Amino acid sequence: MSIANIPAPTYPLSSLATSVIATRSNPRRLGPHMLPLRFTRSVQNLQRLQHIARVLTQHGFGHVVDQVDLGRFVPLRLRRKPAATKEEAPYVGVGRRMTRVASELGPIFVKLGQMLATRPDILPPEILTELQTLQDQVQPFDSSLARQIIETELKMPVDDAYANVESDPIASGSIGQVYRAALHDGRHVVIKVRRPDIERDIRADLQILKWFAEALERWVAEARPFHPLSLVEEFERTLLRELDFMHEAATTARLRDAFQDDPNVEIPAVIWSHSTPGMLTLEALDGESLNAVLDTQGPPFHRKALAARLADMYLKQFFEIGTFHADPHPGNILVTAPERIGLIDFGQTGVISDEMAGDLVVLLLGVVTRDMNIIADALIEMGAISTKTERRQLVTDLQYLVDKYHSQPLQRLKIQSVFTEAAEVIRHHDATIPRDVVLMLKSLTTVWGVAVQLDPDLDIVGLLKPRLLAMIRARLSPMKMLRAGGLTMWHVLSFLRTAPQQIREMLQKASSGGWQINVRHDNLEPLARDIDRSSNRLAFSIVIAGLIVGSSMVVSADPQIHVFGIQLQSLGVAGYLVAAVLGMGLIWAIFRSGRLS
């Protein structure tokens, strides 16, 4: 069944309403340690939260659901642990279950899984391998609805804007749907139309994801090394950029301008008059998919020239343009015989700033000279190394990795293995590489792999070396040094200008007793919650015991005594019944918590 066809879960609205009312009237309803749940004001969002909690529990993440205090949303029948396969390694099983959770929760979670699959510096390779199997399995929406969206975006009838629009889409993703079309001037184009209501659905899921990530990072110690909050924030930025098709249009236009003087590189032109944040019209490119070329030997394609041009095209994006196509799989690369290359689909791109490019040059210089301290300094400048990282051990591990691959012949070097091992070292030392750098390295790995398939003798180092030397010369040029010196002097003067006032304010606060020391404690609120719950249960147990003792005394009294016309023994039996009901409720609460022992 397609993800899009999975029916939304149905939950009793009475229980949802009770939860919403209780949360509004008492914020501690969801546990004293939890962060504010603003989205509980919406019954629809609370339904979604319940669905997420139940799916996580079904696939073996019930302990996480309990730790963020969402276990109340999960029926007891779903709390059984899934049967583990003996031959599965621990991380393989986790990755497989994460994949199932993402597939069941829908397109937004599938895209989150796909984004996580590009972060080898954070997740173990076994999990990445499983997440890489995630695919957008979204059925196309009705083409008549797409035509309505086009008319709304362009504020004109479709027939006035286009000479022809094909009725069937050529591609359908979680955010947009693509159609072939033609303009009135005869140009062939492709139209990318945003799915209806997708922005509303994405923002609702992102709100829940951010809350869940904050809860994981704060209360689940095992999740902290994976930095869930920063991952979700990165995912949010990426997804919101993808929602705005004008961002993709601007990136496409910039790369087209950068390659306009190269007759053998083709980037589609943006039809600005037919593009809005909700739809994008691009020139249609001719050519065959690179997959077909990889299966073809000999004419009409010049494989060696194609390999060199493909590698050089991406090196130019990385080190000169600063913006690069971050999804270079063969399906997004079109080839026209004999050696012309076209790029399509700029929905996923990366940006290498001038400062980051300088750090990368230093990093590569450290690799070439085998100076691990230079590499460590470059990682620090990137903000990749955390306070928990032990620099000496990191340098030792990097030295071992560089020594392992430094002397190997280029033909034997497997770039994917190098990338995987380097990411493992980074992850082991609790360091996190900036997302755009990871995208760049992953794109370089993919392009190198494809280029080597085209030409096994390709000298990638020979292509890379002149660009690195040019970047080093540019950074050491007198004008560059003078500009950097002037900027540094401006910062120093700015500091000297404001420092006396800041020192005066600090001394005034100190003399008036205005200084405060704020102490934050971690992991004590869950303990307070458990103590509070235990004390409530103990008090409840005392009340039940009192009812039983009192009822026993009443039952053994003189049967002739009546209270308000009711025989005293009858009141004792009623007390027994009340105690039995309360006792069963207490046992059920303890049983649901999973803490019988």
177 by DSSP, 3-state: which? strand
Residues 180 and 178: their CA atoms lie apart, in Å, by 7
**21 phi/psi in degrees, rounded to 5:** -65, -45
**DSSP letters for 50-91:** HHHHHHHHHTT-HHHHHHTT-GGGS-GGG-SPPPPPTT--HH
* Rg of the Cα atoms in the chain: 31
Task: Output the six-digit token pair for 354.
Answer: 């001038």
Residue 204 vs residues 91, 193, 200, 208, 209: alpha-carbon distances, Å: 30, 21, 6, 7, 9
Give me the helices (H) in 512-567, please. Answer: 525-555
Task: Output the six-digit token pair for 368.
Answer: 């070439």
Which residues fall within 8 angstroms of residue 476, CB to CB, at 6 or more apart?
Answer: none
- Calculate helix-pair angle for 354-369, 435-454, nearest 10 degrees: 60
Short-list 393, 368, 170, 381, CA closest to 282? 170
CB 443 within 8 A of CB 328: yes
558 in catalytic set: no
**361 phi/psi in degrees, rounded to 5:** -60, -45
211 by DSSP, 3-state: which? helix
Strand duo 265-266 + 340-343: pairing? parallel
Catalytic hit among 121, 327, 345, 397 = 327
Residues 284 and 344: their CA atoms lie apart, in Å, by 9
- CA-CA-CA-CA torsion for 553, 556, 560, 565, nearest 10 degrees? 40
Task: Output the six-digit token pair for 257.
Answer: 């301008």
335 by DSSP, 3-state: which? strand
Task: Output the six-digit token pair for 541.
Answer: 């147990």
Instruction: List residues bridging with 566 in a β-sheet.
Output: 563
CB 134 within 8 A of CB 174: no
Instruction: List residues bridging with 276 in a β-sheet.
Output: 279
Which residues fall within 8 angstroms of residue 57, CB to CB, at 6 or more apart?
Answer: 65, 71, 74, 78, 79
Residues labelled as active-site residues: 327
